[in-house]
Amino acid sequence: MAQKISLDDWQQQLGRRDSSTDTASNSNLVYSTESGSIAKPKAAEQGGTAYPDGAVRLRREKKGRGGKTVLTISGIAKSAAELAEICAGLKKKCACGGAVKDGIIEIQADKRQLIEQHLSQLGFNVKWAGG
φ/ψ of 64, rounded to 5, equals 75, 15
Return the SS3 of 75: coil
Give, in degrees to the nearest 5, the angle at Cα 74 between 71 and 79.
125
Domains of the chain: 7-37 (no CATH), 56-129 (3.30.780.10)
pLDDT over 90, % of the chain: 36
- Mean predicted lDDT score pLDDT of the chain: 81
Q: Which amino acid is at 13?
A: Q
Q: Which pLDDT belongs to residue 16?
A: 64
Task: Dump pLDDT digits (tens) for 7-55.
Answer: 877 777 777 655 455 544 556 666 666 776 777 666 666 677 777 888 8
Q: Residue 120: is its pLDDT beyond 70?
A: yes
Q: Is 74 within 8 Å of 103 (Cβ atoms)?
A: yes
Contacts of 5-14 with C-beta under 8 Å, sequence gap 24+, read none
Statement: the pTM of the whole predicted model exceeds 0.75:
no
**34 or 71: whose pLDDT is higher?**
71
